[in-house]
Amino acid sequence: MRGGEVVPARWRGPVVVVLGFLMLLISAGPVFYAYGVFAPDLVATFGASRAAVNLALTAVLVVSGLASAPVGWLAARIPLHWLAMGGVLGTAAGLALVAGATAMWQVVALYATLISAADVLLGMLVINLLIAHWFERRRGLVMGIVALGGSAAAIFFPPWAAYLQGWLGWRGGFLVFAGITLLLAPAVWWLARRPAGGIPAWERRAAVAGQVSAPAGPPPSWGMFLRSADFWVITLGVGTLMALNGAIMASLVSYGRALGLDALTAASLVSTVGMTAMAGKLVFGVLADRVDLRWALRLGLLAGAVAMVLFALARDGRPLYVAALVYGLSLGALLPVWGALTAQCFGLGHYGRALGATRAAMTPINFAYPLLVGALFDWTGSYRPAWAALSALALLALGLSFLRGRQPSR
């Protein structure tokens, strides 16, 4: 049965939007947003350093980043629902095995292998591919709506994880989240499919001057990407937004508790980020269809830099919530701007390859930022130097977004 035939034609687009929302909710919630809540327990259980605990999330970002290029290549050759199903099963198995870990290195190893499938197979790469093949006229807006799944994960999973932590312990929490992940399997198998015949007629828009269309000819090479200013703007700008999120999700709850907040209140900081990011994703989704996408990216980076300064200046709970609100706006730029800017620069015909290449090139940034935060905390005993460093790095990416160059030939 072809994708979409399981639902009436008029509902196929909305169903794909709901599916993308749920895929991002499940890939982000248990893996990223719940982990920061469990991090203090992992330190206590295994006697691990903050840097070692942060290494698990770093491993996900690094491994999934390195795997993105081959997955982008595979996505042009095999059905998307095969890839997404691998993400569901790998994530569920990994979370269940983490519940039985007896040493911190086992947690890191599982995050670097099975759980990494969430980010590359169930997360933004495959979701972007799915949405881009179903929507054109409203692609930016739809990507913003789907990105709300990540914000919903930030709102609901931290307090849920804190509740499970108190009721079942962190091991029980991981088992519950493994079971929830499996519930997504039937929907992914039947609905995560490209439309037959290309973008549906109701989503196509007439060609206009300057519009990027699906390019003809052979796919772009790595050399072409590396010589492209657009490639580096996307890699450095979106990579910084993604790495900031990894660093914040690994450390924000611990930072709140270090400033005297209880576990549930500290977890609510992540929920605050998620609530603001919901508005930010809709705003950036609309902007993606209407303005120069580089300026949307720059606005997200500027908000991220300001938020890091506010985190560094915070001395108690109220300023932390202000910083979390500002950071949520920055996070809102990540998914809609990445997807729409990549399509604009490289076209839909080579979209999967371009997404995979940019995601793979972001790997060093995603590797460095969470480890930097953990290492600076272990060295200084405070998170404030880490927030200051992240602010400087966001401003550097903002400056580099003004790179311009001739699009190289293939």
Integer Cα distance of 184 and 344 in angstroms? 31
Question: Residue range 366-389: average pLDDT?
Answer: 89
Give the pLDDT score at 312. Answer: 94
pLDDT at 214 over 50: no
Give the pLDDT score at 104. Answer: 96
| Architecture of the domain spanning 9-196+221-400 | Up-down Bundle (1.20)
In 3D space, the residue among 163, 46, 64 whose CA is nearest the CA of residue 106 turns out to be: 46
Give the pLDDT score at 59. Answer: 85
Neighbours of 224 (CB within 10 A): 17
Confidence of residue 408 (pLDDT cuts 50, 70, 90): very low
Q: Could you give the dihedral angle defined by the CA atoms of residues 392, 394, 396 and 402, in that order, rounded to the nearest 10 degrees?
A: -150
Confidence of residue 409 (pLDDT cuts 50, 70, 90): very low
Three-class SS of the chain: CCCCCCCCHHHHHHHHHHHHHHHHHHHHHHHHHHHHHHHHHHHHHHCCCHHHHHHHHHHHHHHHHHHHHHHHHHHCCCCHHHHHHHHHHHHHHHHHHHCCCCCHHHHHHHHHCCCHHHHHHHCHHHHHHHHHHHCCCCHHHHHHHHHHHHHHHHHHHHHHHHHHHHHHHHHHHHHHHHHHHHCCHHHHHHHCCCCCCCCCHHHCCCCCCCCCCCCCCCCCCHHHHHCCHHHHHHHHHHHHHHHHHHHHHHHHHHHHHHCCCCHHHHHHHHHHHHHHHHHHHHHHHHHHCCCCHHHHHHHHHHHHHHHHHHHHHCCCHHHHHHHHHHHHHHHCCHHHHHHHHHHHHHCCCCHHHHHHHHHHHCHHHHHHHHHHHHHHHHHHCCCHHHHHHHHHHHHHHHHHCCCCCCCCCC
pLDDT in tens, 252-293: 888 998 898 888 888 889 889 888 888 888 888 777 777 788
Question: Residue range 117-130: average pLDDT?
Answer: 82
In 3D space, the residue among 160, 174, 141, 164 whose CA is nearest the CA of residue 17 turns out to be: 141
Integer Cα distance of 127 and 189 in angstroms? 14
In 3D space, the residue among 196, 235, 227 whose CA is nearest the CA of residue 68 turns out to be: 235
Give the pLDDT score at 1. Answer: 45
Give the pLDDT score at 217. Answer: 54
Mean pLDDT of the chain: 84
pLDDT at 5 over 90: no
pLDDT at 209 over 70: no
Start-to-end CA span in the chain (Å): 37
Tokens of 8: 């009436």
Please say whether the beta carbons of 151 and 335 come within 8 A: no
High-pLDDT (> 90) share of the chain, %: 36
Confidence of residue 144 (pLDDT cuts 50, 70, 90): confident
pTM attached to this predicted model: 0.70
pLDDT at 321 over 90: yes
Question: Residue range 183-206: average pLDDT?
Answer: 75
Give the pLDDT score at 371. Answer: 81
Give the pLDDT score at 233. Answer: 93
Poorest-pLDDT segment among 93-102, 159-168, 294-303, 356-365: 356-365
Question: Residue range 383-409: average pLDDT?
Answer: 83
CA angle 368–229–288, rounded 5-degree value: 85
pLDDT in tens, 98-123: 999 999 999 999 999 989 877 788 88
pLDDT in tens, 25-70: 998 899 888 998 899 899 999 999 888 888 888 888 788 888 888 8
Poorest-pLDDT segment among 2-11, 32-41, 183-192: 2-11
